[in-house]
Amino acid sequence: MDIEEELRIIKRNVVDILPGLEELRKRLQEARQQARPLKIKYGADPTAPDIHLGHTITLSKLREFQDLGHIVQFIIGDFTAMIGDPSGRNEVRKPLSEESIRKNASTYQEQIFKILDKKRTELHFNSEWFGKMSLKDTLKMASYYTVARVLERAEFKERFKKKQEISLLEFIYPLLQGYDSVMLGNDIEIGGTDQTFNLLVGRDLQRDYGKKEQIILTLPLLVGTDGIRKMSKSYGNYIGITELPLEIYGKTMSIPDELIFPYMELLTSISDEKINNMKKDVRDEKMNPKDAKAFLANEIVKRYHGISEAAKAGNEFDKIFKKRELPSEIPSRKYEKEKVWIIDVLVNEGLAKNKTEANRLISQGAVELDGKTITSPDFDILMDSEHVLKVGKRRFLKIKGE
C-alpha cells in the first residue's frame, strides 16, 4: 500500500491533524525508511466501568492503525483517574476511590479487545511512572508550563470568568497527560476534539524533554441518544458495547433521525458509497428513515454480538414494538408475600437504582403492570396471579406469588 492510500484511510472521520497533514506524511515516510511501525498513543481514565459507543470512535481509529501495521500504546490512566480530566466540564470532578478505579480498569481491559488487536497493543498504566515520581521531578515538569498558558483552555477560562472553583489538581492534569507522551515516546496521539489542549501539552512537553514531538489527530465526539449532549454515562444517553443485544438495538432505534447517518459514518465499517446512496434514498423518500435506522441498529449489534444475535434482536424488537407482543424471553421472580410494594420490586430487581429513581419512573408514567400504567408510588402488587411488569420501553419482568 502506498503512503497516499494509507493517509486516505487514516484521515477518514478525523477532524484535525496537528501541526498538519505534511508532518504526518513525513512521519509515515520516516517510519517506512526505518522499517518500523509508528507508535500510536491513546489514554483513557477508568472513571466508569463500561465502554460505550462514544469511546469506539477512537478505538476503531486505533484498530485501523493496527491493520496498517502500526502499534497502539493504550494507557489506562489509573493514576490520573484519581484527579479527573476537566475537559468539557464546568465544575470540579469528584475524586474516585482506588477500589472503583481498579474495578473499572479491569473491565476496560476486557472490553477494549473487542475492537483492538491484542498482539499489536502495548498496555500501560500511568501509575507505573507517576507512582514513583519524586517531588523534584514533579516540579521540573511543572516548570515547563505557566498559569497563563493553562488558563487558555476554554473550560478554565469560562470557570475563571464566572469565579467558579478550579482545583490545583485539575490545573496539573494536562501536564500529567502530556507527561505520558514523554514516557512513551509515541509518534502520534489521538483523542476527541475536547482533548485538543491536553494533546498539545503532550507535544510541548516532548519537545521540552528533548523528545520528538507527537503528531495529533482529533476525532469527533459522538452525540448521545438524546441528540443533544455528547454521549456519556453520566448523562444517561449512552449505549454500552456490552449491553444486551436487544438493549443496544432498542437504544439505537430511539435516536433522532438526524443522527442516523453520523452514527453510520462513525460507528460502522459501511462504505461511504453505500451511506451516500442510503442518504439519497431517504432524502428522495424512497426509503423510510426507520428502515435506515434498523439497518444501523443491526450493524452495531452485529459488531459486538455477532450476526445471529443481531438478527434475533431485530426480530424481538419488531415483535415488541410493531406487533405489540411480549418478548419471547422475560425474566421471572417469585415473591412469598401476598402483596409487594412497587417501589421495592423496582429497586430489588435492578429496574431502578434506588427509591428516588423508582419514584421518578412512576411519576413519568414509565412503569406498567399488565399493560396498565402505575400512577401512584404507594401501589401494592397483589400476588394472586402472574403479572408482567414493564419499565420504560424495553425492560420486562414476570412476577408471581409462591
Per-residue pLDDT of the chain (402 residues), as tens digits, is 899 999 999 999 999 999 999 999 999 999 999 999 999 999 988 877 789 999 999 999 999 999 999 999 999 988 888 776 555 554 555 667 778 888 888 888 889 999 999 999 999 999 999 999 999 999 999 999 888 888 888 788 888 888 888 888 888 889 999 999 999 999 999 999 999 999 999 999 999 999 999 999 999 999 999 999 999 887 889 999 999 999 999 999 999 999 999 999 999 999 999 999 999 999 999 999 999 999 999 999 999 999 999 999 999 999 888 877 878 778 888 888 888 999 999 999 989 989 999 999 999 999 999 889 999 999 999 888 889 999 988 888 989 877
User: b/e for 213-245, b at 16 or more Cβ within 10 A?
Assistant: bbbbbbbbbbbbbeeeebbbeeeebbbbbbbeb
Q: Which CATH superfamily is domain 3-219 in?
A: HUPs (3.40.50.620)
Question: CB–CB of 44/12 below 8 Å?
Answer: no
As a CATH number, domain 243-323 is 1.10.240.10
Q: Are 212 and 206 in contact (CB under 8 A)?
A: yes
pLDDT, residue 156, reads 82
Q: Where in the chain is the domain with CATH 3.10.290.10?
A: 332-401
Cα–Cα distance for residue pair 11/18, rounded to 1 Å = 12
**pTM of the complete model:** 0.82
H or E element, residue 11: helix 3-11
Note the pLDDT of residue 99.
82
- What grid cell was written down for 266? 462513525
The alpha carbon dihedral of 2, 115, 176, 224 has a sign of: positive
233 is in an annotated binding site: yes
Residues of the chain with CATH 3.40.50.620: 3-219
Q: What is the CATH number assigned to the segment(s) 332-401?
A: 3.10.290.10
User: 125 near 76, Cβ under 8 Å?
Assistant: yes
Cell digits of residue 126: 500511568
Positions of CATH 1.10.240.10 in the chain = 243-323
